[in-house]
Amino acid sequence: MFLCVMLDNFIHKGRRKKLVEIIKSKGITDERVLEAIGKVPRHLFMESFLDNVAYEDRAQPISAGQTISQPYTVAFQTQLLDLKKAEKVLEVGTGSGYQTAVLLEMGVKVFSIERQRMLYEKTRLFLPKLGYFPTLFWGDGYKGKSNYAPFDKILITAGAPFVPPDLLQQLKIGGILVAPVGEIDQIMISVLRTSPTDYKQQEHGYFRFVPLIEGVND
Ligand code: SAH
């Protein structure tokens, strides 16, 4: 009988510890973020042939021509969200579910949207196996999820040509949206909603993401 086990052994744990040190040395200071990265078994979110490189601080391929973001980038975006326990977070771009898992490790409630049906199905079945229970949707993240709004925090994990107006509308007053904005390279921005009509934007350097594409892919 073929037994499929999802193994997280001492080698993975050792590599993960080193990864936490690496992203700390690159400037991540939020201990809760570092702790979450230290807990999520990243190698299980990618194909098994990538096991050896899963804890390198690099983006890696997942299915459907998409990528699992670089751990430093995941940590950087998560840190910008300034999460408080039990907050409602909307993630756009579920992908492998790795970022989703990091958010859940921080004690927030996660709603996540993925446009690629195959990835959505795969991640929907996979995350509960690791004990992660987000609310996942197959849909177009440009539209957000108005029936679950408002959100304390919104995180876009694909390069957006502009910040989708629907997402700004679905942000709580006092809430923060984090997004990489731009066509080829993206500038990381955080947007604080200060009133029903006012938003305060800050910029945090350049990154490179796969694009945020309008519409869904069946
Ligand atoms: N957070 C993911 C990163 C995946 S890469 C992880 O940790 O693995 C970005 C993801 O955004 C891809 O899976 C891509 O299919 C998805 N995406 C792109 N445009 C989208 C849209 N309009 N709505 C929802 N998801 C989108």
Please determine, for residue 4, whether its predicted confidence score (pLDDT) is greater than 80.
no
In the annotation, is 48 catalytic?
A: no
Ligand 1 and 157: CB distance under 6 A = yes
Atom of ligand 1 nearest to the CA of 98: 7
Answering whether pTM is above 0.85, one says yes
Model confidence pLDDT, tens digit, residues 8-62: 999 999 999 999 999 999 999 999 999 999 999 999 999 988 999 999 999 999 9
Please determine, for residue 3, whether its predicted confidence score (pLDDT) is greater than 50.
no
Report domain extents, the chain. 58-207
User: Choosing from 69, 96, 112, 190, which is the catalytic residue?
Assistant: 69
Ligand 1 and 113: CB distance under 6 A = yes
Which residue's alpha carbon is nearest to atom 16 within ligand 1? 93
Please determine, for residue 149, whether its predicted confidence score (pLDDT) is greater than 60.
yes
Residue of 111, 116, 143 best suited for mutating to test ligand 1, as the one with most atoms within 8 Å of CB: 116
DSSP string, the chain: ---------HHHHHHHHHHHHHHHHTT---HHHHHHHHHS-GGGGS-GGGGGGTTSSS-EE-STT-EEPPHHHHHHHHHHH---TT-EEEEE--TTSHHHHHHHHTT-EEEEEESBHHHHHHHHHHGGGGT---EEEES-GGG--GGG--EEEEEE-SBBSS--HHHHHTEEEEEEEEEEESSSSEEEEEEEE-SSS-EEEEEEEEE--PBP-SS-B-
Residue 5's pLDDT band (cuts 50, 70, 90): low
Q: Ligand 1 centroid to 211 CA: how many Å?
A: 8
- Residue 2 is predicted with a pLDDT of 44
Which residue's alpha carbon is nearest to atom 13 within ligand 1? 95
Mean pLDDT of the residues in the chain: 95
Atom of ligand 1 nearest to the CA of 102: 7
Q: Which of the following CATH numbers is that of domain 58-207: 3.40.50.150, 3.20.20.70, 3.60.15.10, 3.40.50.720?
A: 3.40.50.150
Model confidence pLDDT, tens digit, residues 75-87: 999 999 999 999 9
Q: Ligand 1 centroid to 81 CA: how many Å?
A: 18
